[in-house]
Copies of this chain bind each other. A is one copy, B any other.
Amino acid sequence: MEEKLQNKENMTISDVAEALGVSKTTVSRAISGKGRVGATTRNKVLSYIEKHNYKPSTVAKGLAQSRTYNICVTIPSDCGVSEQLFFQSVVAGMCNYLALRDYDVVVASISDMDISNLKRIVSNHKVDGVIVSRTYRNGIIVEYLKESHIPFVTLGLCNDKEVAQIDCDHREGCKELTSLLLMRGMKKIGLIGGDTRHMVTQSRYQGYLDAFKELGLEADQQLIYENSITAVLVENAVEELMVQQADCILCMDDSICNFVLHKCSHDGIIIPEDLKVASFFNSSILENHRPAITCLNFDNNEEGVIAAKTILDLLDGKEVPNVKKLGYQVIINNSTK
């Protein structure tokens, strides 16, 4: 009777020990695998907890080890559609990898200047490490994390050699895509860029410039529209670029590209006949567009996995590279034919 009721809500390691007539220590060792236990006792313990569905409390375990088994990830609440899709994939990748090591993901919703959620989580000792999912030119997040001495990694560069950074090599990718277009004979390639406060915007911009430089050309500043973070700004940029007779428009991300495509379709601009279009990103927003859009492809899910792997290495005291570069693919489609 008592035996059966052992399937109670909160069975503890003591209950198991008592029921089996062994000590808590033995149970603990049998479960964790650390410290030697007789094969017989081990099996006895394991089969018992299996049958009675006992699982140790990660919280108590964490307290005893001064760990939480939680990793915090920052998610900007003020961001465009394609970025949201990006974060979602990243988080999924992280979750799945961390789960393998019994770690979980705690979300810190942050906005432009308000990182109070992050601060609360860190100062409450709720996580062992932080993954910063986007870096900014102003480094307030990095600054804060450094001074609170919590291990962290960033997705994106951050101009600080001491920080472990994961970067998809946007610069190189954007350079390659831009070069390709230049070599296909396009002369007036407009660039519609995103929020310049984000580091990734910088990288993409640099890549764009690199391509021109490498070919001994000079980028025309008149064709560059940065901070086009609203539909209206993008539309204005498109209009001005058409007046300037640009033959191609490069969009820094898919949200921008989406606006460009809407604008073109509305104004009767035919792609690629009247104008070529390409994007420095590849989200599912443009997935089904006709013509298919030339773009760069990054594996967001893998970024999450790598970030998770890196932060755990950091927690284990392993050496991690300052900047870990991830690859990309250039996908040429009909929009630049």
Which residues does A use to contact B, with CB under 8 Å?
A: 9-10, 53, 55-60, 62-63, 66, 68-70, 75, 77, 80-81, 84-85, 87-88, 91-92, 95-96, 99, 102, 104-109, 116-117, 120-121, 123-126, 149, 231, 258-259, 262, 265-266, 283-285, 287-290
Which listed residue (B104, B124, B262) contacts A58, Cβ 8 A? B124
Which B residues lie within 8 Å of A87 (CB)?
88
Q: Which residue of B lies closest to A234 (CB)?
A: B288
Which B residues lie within 8 Å of A125 (CB)?
55, 57-59
* With A63-B59, A87-B88, A124-B58 as contacts: A149 and B9 at CB distance below 8 Å: yes
CA distance A53 to B124 in the complex (A): 11
A104–B75 CB distance below 8 A: no
CA distance A85 to B258 in the complex (A): 16
CA distance A151 to B69 in the complex (A): 22
A285–B99 CB distance below 8 A: no
Additional pairs, 10, CB under 8 Å, beyond known A231-B288, A265-B265: A63-B63, A75-B92, A81-B81, A81-B85, A81-B285, A95-B108, A96-B109, A99-B116, A259-B288, A266-B290
**Oligomer copy total:** 2
Q: Which residue of B lies closest to A259 (CB)?
A: B288
Which listed residue (B84, B262, B289) contacts A85, Cβ 8 A? B84
* With A95-B117, A288-B259, A289-B262 as contacts: A105 and B106 at CB distance below 8 Å: yes
Which B residues lie within 8 Å of A10 (CB)?
66
Which B residues lie within 8 Å of A284 (CB)?
80-81
Q: How far is the CB of A45 from chain B (nearest CB, A)?
A: 17
Q: Which residue of B lies closest to A255 (CB)?
A: B284
Which listed residue (B81, B107, B262, B290) contacts A95, Cβ 8 A? B107
B109–A107 CB distance below 8 A: no
B109–A126 CB distance below 8 A: no
Q: In this complex, which of A87, A259, A289 has the most chain B Cβ atoms within 10 angstroms of its Cβ?
A: A289
CA distance A102 to B117 in the complex (A): 10
Which B residues lie within 8 Å of A81 (CB)?
81, 85, 283-285
CA distance A116 to B259 in the complex (A): 39
B231–A57 CB distance below 8 A: no
Which B residues lie within 8 Å of A107 (CB)?
91, 95, 104-107
Which listed residue (B66, B99, B285) contacts A120, Cβ 8 A? B99
Which B residues lie within 8 Å of A259 (CB)?
288
Which B residues lie within 8 Å of A80 (CB)?
284
A-B contact pairs, 23 of them (CB 8 A): A53-B123, A55-B123, A55-B124, A55-B125, A59-B59, A63-B63, A75-B92, A77-B92, A80-B284, A81-B81, A81-B85, A91-B109, A92-B109, A95-B108, A95-B109, A95-B117, A96-B117, A102-B120, A102-B124, A105-B106, A258-B288, A262-B288, A265-B265
